[in-house]
Amino acid sequence: MVSSKMKSGNHLALGLTLEGSAAMAIAAFLPLYQPTGRFCFVQDNTIIQRPGGWFILAVAVGIAAGGFWASQGNRGKLAAPIALCVLTGIAIALLASNKDFRILYPLSSNGSPDSSRQGTVTSLGIAVYVAGAGVALALVGLLMMLREGAGTDQLETASSGRQRSVRTAR
């Protein structure tokens, strides 16, 4: 009886992880706030223009790289990209729920926000929703890889030449 281990990753799991990472990277360049009422233009309205905005791009690359590496047979290394997804999801939820962060003030004559005047709480822009969906997709893909890592698919060739798939636990 000859046994050979096939190196077949879950392509759906990898695809979800990479699509989620791409959505997170794209979200960095989308509007963070929805301009409303008298604020038809919002200055520095993308995640990338904010302090620490490059962080979401770095996280997206880290999740994509970690997912790809895990799909190549290094399933024990999934903890880092899963942790990045969870922490990024928490950060996005905090950003979305913090109304103080979304108050827009009229600009003074020198172009800086005038906080002595009445501010307006604006709606969230599409960036928050796309980033949240990206984190969710990437996390689902990584968890699928983690679940797949609990067992491996092997082909077992019997002496008669037939092949059958056998699921073995690690």
Name, in order, each residue with C-beta under 8 angstroms of 32's C-beta and a sequence gap of 6 or more.
Answer: 45, 46, 47, 50, 124, 125, 127, 128
Domain boundaries, the chain: 11-150
pLDDT band of residue 97 (cuts 50, 70, 90) is confident
Residue pair 161/6 in contact by the 8 Å Cβ criterion: no
The CATH class given to the 11-150 domain equals mainly alpha
pLDDT band of residue 109 (cuts 50, 70, 90) is confident
Residue pair 42/158 in contact by the 8 Å Cβ criterion: no
Cα 123 versus chain centre, distance: 22
- Rounded Cα distance, 9 and 154, in Å: 12
Average pLDDT, the chain: 78
Is pTM beyond 0.85? Reply is no
Q: Give CA separation, 88 vs 83, 132, 134, in Å.
A: 8, 9, 10
* pLDDT tens profile 37-70: 555 556 667 788 777 778 999 999 999 999 999 8
Express as a percent the part of the chain with pLDDT over 90. 34
Residue pair 63/84 in contact by the 8 Å Cβ criterion: yes
Q: Would you report the helix, strand and coil content of the chain in percent, each value rounded to 5? A: 50, 20, 30
